[in-house]
Amino acid sequence: MFRLLPNAIFCCSSIVFFVPAHAFSQAPFYEGKTITIIRSSAPGSVGDMRTRALIPFLRKHIPGNPTVVIQYMAGGGGRKAANYIYGSVRPDGLTIGSMSSSVVANAILGETGVEYDIDKLIFIGAPMIGSSWVFVTRSGAGFASLEELRSRSDVRVGSQTVGHVTHIVARLFAYLMGLKDSRFVTGYSGPELDLAMIRGELDARANNAEPAIKRYRDWISKGLVKFHALFEIRKGEARHPLFAQLPELESFAESANERKLVAMYRAFSLVGTAFVLPPGTSMERAQILNDAMRKALRDADFYKEYEKLVGEEPVPLMPEEQKKAIKEIPRETVIVNLMKRLAGPGPLPPR
């Protein structure tokens, strides 16, 4: 009759005792959970549509396929939602912020009402970065070349309101291109800016590059507008043939500080519709969401859904590129103060 020796009995029992816990099946953390996305705008905004387009694919690629809901928290140009994510949310991986790019600019420029530390928020990517910009004039104003544009001291440059992106970028172009004593005229909506320019009320404006091609299609064919310079947000990307020969804004910079100024605003725009986690979120859960974001932003069906819902092609930003852009933003006081002056209502600062 076969009998187990004492040592053999010990070995067999040891095998059972030392089976590691992870060898047994375990449900993913997010299974059966609900993720709340805090959107820093009202329903129906472009940022809201971008967020809605991404949500099904983010959910698809999170192990456990949690429920995802949106909570709207408009206010303070995104500061209300960012403050909430930073100071009031449990860092359990179940609350994600969906912010406009102003979440970074407001913090770097030290705007009032900012109660969050931009370097402690955890950025996990964006479905859309900011668009590149062009500086455009109406042909009837007589600016056939950059030299003619620089020689005039009465160029009327239109924008929406002081501090609006159309105002800041227009002044950034004018400052670096060396326009003398330009008049910055505010109070227009986006469509009104174009009409005012064609009617002769304005001479120039800054406009998003790709949308400008669609918007000005007829005017371009009739020679009613002229493009003078391009501000690339993601440097080195393929240009539309219409912009192929335009000088890039950074080429006008004459000093290290001016190059840093361009880099600062480029980073502000590059951050895009940013998805963020509160400080203290565990590395494990942050990594799950980072991985899910990467997969969602590469999902071919996401591109189709995004274009159908938002009406534009997505230009996504992966988590690592977003974090790198924020880390490398120039933060010297002299650059911050220069950017603030450009964003304000006064005359352009001297060079």
**How many structural domains is the chain composed of?**
2
Burial class (CB in 10 A: 0-12, 13-18, 19+), 292: buried
Residues 277, 263 share a domain: no
Mean pLDDT across the chain? 91
Q: How confident is the model at residue 171 (pLDDT cuts 50, 70, 90)?
A: very high
Residues 188, 82 share a domain: no
Q: Which domain holds residue 42?
A: 34-129+271-317
Condensed to tens digits (0 to 9), the pLDDT of residues 300-319 reads 999 999 999 999 999 999 99
In the chain, pLDDT over 70 holds for what percent of residues?
93
* CATH code of the domain containing 236: 3.40.190.10
Residues 260, 276 share a domain: no
Condensed to tens digits (0 to 9), the pLDDT of residues 127-163 reads 999 999 999 999 999 999 999 999 988 899 999 999 8
Average pLDDT for 242-271: 96
Residues 229, 154 share a domain: yes
Residue 1 domain flag: no
CB-hemisphere CA count at 13 Å for 248? 16
Condensed to tens digits (0 to 9), the pLDDT of residues 71-96 reads 999 999 899 999 999 999 999 999 99
For 295, the 3-state DSSP assignment is helix
Residues 294, 258 share a domain: no
Residue 348 domain flag: no
Average pLDDT for 111-127: 97
Token duo for residue 66: 């949690």
The beta-strand segments (E) located in 26-126 are 34-39, 67-72, 95-99, 122-123
Report the pLDDT value the prediction gives residue 210, as an integer from 0 to 100.
85
Whether 186 and 162 have beta carbons less than 8 Å apart is answered as: yes
Task: Provide φ and ψ at 159, rounded to 5°.
Answer: -155, 180
Strand order in the sheet with 122-123: 67-72, 34-39, 95-99, 274-277, 122-123
Average pLDDT for 27-33: 95
Residue 176 domain flag: yes
Residues 186, 60 share a domain: no
* CATH code of the domain containing 309: 3.40.190.150
Whether 276 and 117 have beta carbons less than 8 Å apart is answered as: no
CB neighbourhood size of 11 (10 A)? 11
Residue 48 domain flag: yes
Residue 180 domain flag: yes
| Predicted structure pTM score | 0.88
Residues 262, 138 share a domain: yes
Residues 155, 124 share a domain: no
Quick check: 240 pLDDT over 80?
Answer: yes
Residue 222 domain flag: yes
